[in-house]
Amino acid sequence: MSLFKETLSDAGAARRDAMLRELQRAVVRRRRLRTALRSSAGLLTVTTILALVILYDRPSSELAPKESPPSFPVLTSVHLKIVHDEPGIVARHLVETRPIDPKIILDDDALLESLAAIGRPTGLIRVQGKLILTEKVADEPPG
């Protein structure tokens, strides 16, 4: 039956035949499911088109609500305000910046020593390049 020499035992041949029957049933089930899905998709398409045709043929007076109040306020007057440029606006809101003084940059040990010197000892934790202090060392902002 096959190109290879069959050397299966009786139990092996029985298992092969059982697997073949199981596979054939699975193929039939799959074909039935595919056919049912195609039929359902076709029926759904026809039903949708029919529903759209029926809705399109309806007079618009049946679809419109009966005397609904407007959902937005009716404007009785219009107020306009002209805004002019102010020449000094940028200068008034300018924030001066300057480079950081290199004397302010501290390494970890110098930071811990300076915090301990002002009575706020803490520890350092580094996580993924970020520095976290173990204690609150800054005062609350006024307000």
**pLDDT tens, position by position, 90-143:** 778 788 888 878 777 888 888 889 889 988 888 888 888 888 888 888 887 775
CA distance 136 to 143: 18
**What's the structural domain count of the chain?**
2
DSSP-derived letter for residue 16 is H
* Predicted confidence (pLDDT) per residue in 54-105, tens digit: 887 776 655 565 666 667 777 778 788 887 778 888 778 788 888 878 777 8
Which of 135, 139, 129 minimizes the C-alpha distance to 112?
A: 135
pLDDT at 3 over 90: no
Query: What would the mean pLDDT of 42-60 be, rounded to a whole number?
Result: 85
Residue 21 belongs to a domain: yes
| Residue 92 in tokens | 């008034």
Query: What would the mean pLDDT of 23-32 be, rounded to a whole number?
Result: 95
Question: Residue 66: its pLDDT value, please?
Answer: 64
What phi and psi values does residue 125 have, to the nearest 5 degrees?
-130, 130
Residue 83 belongs to a domain: no
Q: Categorize the per-residue pLDDT at 5 as very low, low, confident or very high, splitting at 50, 70 and 90.
A: low
Question: Residue 4: its pLDDT value, please?
Answer: 59
Question: Residue 62: its pLDDT value, please?
Answer: 56
Question: Residue 61: its pLDDT value, please?
Answer: 59
Residue 74 belongs to a domain: no
H/E element holding 40? helix 10-57
Residue 53 belongs to a domain: yes
| Full domain range(s) for residue 128 | 102-136
Residue 52 belongs to a domain: yes
What contacts 106, CB < 8 A, 6 or more positions away?
114
Residue 93 belongs to a domain: no
Report strand pairing: 124-127 vs 130-133. antiparallel
Higher pLDDT, 25 or 94: 25
Residue 35 belongs to a domain: yes
Residue 90 belongs to a domain: no
